[in-house]
Structures are given as C-alpha cells and as structure tokens.
C-alpha cells in the first residue's frame, strides 16, 4: 500500500521581481527531496518559467526539441534529452471539464531516481490560457491538488509565483497553507511586503470558502542575496537591520528567518547548478542546510 503523506502547500511570492524567489523554491525544494528524503512537488506558475528551465537543464528534459535548443538544454545536460508533455497549461485547462480531468502524466513530471517532481511552466502561458475564464484559472491548482489527493502523495508542494498580482497569484494562494516572502536588502523593500499583505488579505476575504478549513499563513521573510557578514557592505547590513526591525513586520506579526540566503555567483552563471550537490562546503551548503531546517521547523509548528 502506498505511503500516505500529509503535504503542506507553500507559495514563494513577492510582488517585486529579482528577489531570489525562483532560486529559493528550487534550492529548498531540491534539498528537501535530495538530502532530507521528502517527496517534493514543484509547481511553476510564473510565466517566466525560470524554475522549469533550471530543472529541465539539470535533468535533461524539455517540452519540445525546439525549446530545448532555444534554452541550450540538450548539450549541457548530463543525460540524453527527454521530451515531456507535462505542463501547467494542462492543469489549468483540465479544470474546465469535470468529465475529462487532467491526466497526471500530462501534468506532473517525476524526475527519475529522485524524490522530486515538477508541474512545469509553459512559455507564453498568458497567451495560451487567454480563453479561460478567471474562475477556471484561479481554481485550477486548488482543484488539481484536491481532485488527485496530491497532499497524500507529497510532503511538500512548493509553488513559484509570478512577481505581479494576477489570476496566477490567486491560483497559487488558494491551495496554499503558507507563503514565504523572499526580500532583497534594498530601500523600500518593506513597501512591497506591506502591499503583498494587503493582497493576501483581500484574496482571503473574497475567497472565504477556500480558507474555511485551513488558514493561509505567512511563514516568514527570507532575506536573500546576502554576503557573509564580514564581507558585506555596512550599508547593506544597515538595510538588513531595518528589515528585521521593521514596524510593518511587527504590526503584522511577521517573522524574519534567522538564516539569510547567501549570495552565490554560480546561481546566476549556471542554470543547472544546485547547491545541495555542489562543493560549496564553506558557505552556501551549510547556509542552505540551516535555512531548510528552519523552513521545515516552521511548517511543523501547527502539528506540534
């Protein structure tokens, strides 16, 4: 009999781009699957599909030969190129017909010999889903997870959200138990967090049915792209201090993760790079271990 899991759905979200949202989703997700032996499903609903491209390049997958060539996947992967039909588009379009639900093989790609799976994003998603009404779009992921009992199949379902407020944002947050907010130490970064909290409150108020039996909680702020303390500029350290002591966070009862996510140039230069299998033993790997452990501990608070 297959093992039953008690999966948590967690969205990685910020209304601002370039804060490390996709990188955190990938690195924490892979660490959970690879080293901590959790069953992990990544869902890429960001039309930029950077998460998908990174996973595809690492494990040698593509949705077509043409896209593989454009993304330079085939020649850089460790395996022979494999084509997959799996796509977030199939998930969202499969929500239209109750008599013809989404085929899991056309939705989820299970990475061989790993505990990692992904619902890949789709190039031009906004164009491809233009004929879906907002209700089908916004309920798509919730129904997909619920109809297929995915929480019983995975320990963690991590959703990479777009950096703008749209129906895709609502689609990601409706099934979520938690959301994580990556923040770079920049001026005005807290204004984006304040705006996000207002967006989340509005989504919860206008979709009460979806949050009747579960809450949607802010798991915390993760400060990203930080150098080790002795190498970081004083101005950045001051900005980090401002974030950690922000009035906005205190008023909303939002915590800041004790562990920041450290800057690693390989994350920008190599799409297939994964910290957990790298030799970054001095800084990045110990940092990811601590950060992921902290992440896990917060997701388990409600079960203690």
Q: Return the structure tokens found at 261.
A: 């996510």
97 pLDDT more than 70? no
Burial (Cβ within 10 Å: 0-12, 13-18, ≥19) of residue 132: middle
66 pLDDT more than 80? no
% residues pLDDT > 90 (the chain): 72
4 pLDDT more than 80? no
1 pLDDT more than 90? no
In whole numbers, what is the pLDDT of the chain averaged over residues?
A: 90
pLDDT at 197: 94
Average pLDDT over residues 60-79: 62
pLDDT at 94: 77
Kindly provide the residue ranges of all beta strands, DSSP E only, lying in the chain, ordered along the sequence.
Answer: 8-12, 40-44, 61-62, 82-83, 109-110, 116-119, 156-160, 178-183, 217-226, 261-262
pLDDT at 78: 46
Given pLDDT bands bounded at 50, 70 and 90, which one contains residue 68? low
pLDDT at 288: 98
Average pLDDT over residues 218-241: 93
Size of the chain, expressed as the number of residues it contains: 304
Given pLDDT bands bounded at 50, 70 and 90, which one contains residue 72? low
pLDDT at 49: 94
C-alpha to C-alpha distance for 186 and 283, rounded to whole angstroms: 22
Candidate from 156-160, 249-253, 283-287 with smallest mean pLDDT: 249-253
Q: Return the structure tokens found at 233.
A: 């500029």
176 pLDDT more than 60? yes
**Which of 56, 60, 51, 9 lies closest to 27 in space, CA to CA?**
51
Predicted confidence (pLDDT) per residue in 101-112, tens digit = 678 989 999 999
Q: Which residues contact 82 (CB under 8 A, 6 or more apart)?
A: 60, 61, 62
Predicted confidence (pLDDT) per residue in 122-148, tens digit = 988 887 787 788 888 999 999 999 999
74 pLDDT more than 60? no
C-alpha to C-alpha distance for 266 and 108, rounded to whole angstroms: 28
More reliable by pLDDT, 78 or 195: 195
pLDDT at 64: 75
Identify whether the C-beta of residue 47 lies closer than 8 Å to the C-beta of residue 171. Answer: no
């Amino acid at each position: 009999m297959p093992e039953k899991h008690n999966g948590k759905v967690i969205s990685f979200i910020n209304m601002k781009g370039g804060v490390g949202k996709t990188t955190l989703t990938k690195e924490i997700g892979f660490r959970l699957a690879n080293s901590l032996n959790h069953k992990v499903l990544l869902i890429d609903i960001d039309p930029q599909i950077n998460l998908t491209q990174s996973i595809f390049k690492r494990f040698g997958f593509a949705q077509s030969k043409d896209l593989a060539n454009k993304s330079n996947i085939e020649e850089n992967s460790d395996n022979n190129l494999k084509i997959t039909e799996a796509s977030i588009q199939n998930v969202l379009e499969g929500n239209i017909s109750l008599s013809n639900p989404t085929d899991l093989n056309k939705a989820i790609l299970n990475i061989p010999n790993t505990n990692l799976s992904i619902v890949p994003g789709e190039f031009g998603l906004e164009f491809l889903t233009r004929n879906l009404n907002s209700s089908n779009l916004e309920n798509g992921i919730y129904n997909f997870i619920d109809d297929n009992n995915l929480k019983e199949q995975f320990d963690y379902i991590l959703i990479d959200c777009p950096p703008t407020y749209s129906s895709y944002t609502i689609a990601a947050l409706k099934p979520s138990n938690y959301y994580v907010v990556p923040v770079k130490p920049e001026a005005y970064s807290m204004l984006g967090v304040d705006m996000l909290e207002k967006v989340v409150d509005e989504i919860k108020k206008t979709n009460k049915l979806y949050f009747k039996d579960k809450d949607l909680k802010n798991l915390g702020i993760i400060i990203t792209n930080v150098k080790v303390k002795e190498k970081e500029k004083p101005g950045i350290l001051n900005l980090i201090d401002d974030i950690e002591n922000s009035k906005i966070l205190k008023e909303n009862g939002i915590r800041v993760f004790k562990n920041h996510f450290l800057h690693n140039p390989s994350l920008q230069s190599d799409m297939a790079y994964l910290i957990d299998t790298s030799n970054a033993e001095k800084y990045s790997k110990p940092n990811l271990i601590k950060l992921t452990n902290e992440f896990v501990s917060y997701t388990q608070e409600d079960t203690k």
